[in-house]
A = this chain, B = another copy of it.
Amino acid sequence: MALPPHQSPTGDTTAMQLHTYFRSSAAYRVRIALALKGIAWDAVPVHLLKDGGQQKAPAYRALNPIGLVPTLVDGDTVIPQSLAILEYLEETHPTPALLPAGPVARARARAMALTVACDIHPLNNLRVLSYLRGPLDQGEEAVNAWIAHWIAEGFQALEQMAEGPDFCLGGAPGLADLCLVPQMFNARRFNIDLAPYPTLVAIDAHCQTLEAFQVAAPAQQPDAA
| Count of residues in A whose CB is under 8 Å from the partner chain | 48
Which residues between 135 and 168 of chain A lie within 8 Å of chain B, taking CB atoms?
135-136, 138, 142, 145-146, 149, 153-154, 156-158, 160-161
- Tell yes or no: A119 within 8 A of B by CB: yes
* Copies of this chain per assembly: 2
- A79 adjacent to B66 (CB under 8 Å): no
Q: Is the CB of A119 within 8 A of B84?
A: no
A217 to chain B, nearest CB (A): 23
Contact with A157, one of B65, B142, B145, B149 (Cβ below 8 angstroms):
B65
What is the minimal beta-carbon distance from A210 to any residue of chain B, in angstroms? 25
Residues of chain B within 8 A (CB-CB) of A91 are 103, 106
By a beta-carbon cutoff of 8 Å, the part of chain A in contact with chain B is: 65-68, 77, 79-81, 83-85, 87-88, 91-92, 103-104, 106-108, 110-111, 114-115, 117-119, 121-123, 127-128, 131-132, 135-136, 138, 142, 145-146, 149, 153-154, 156-158, 160-161
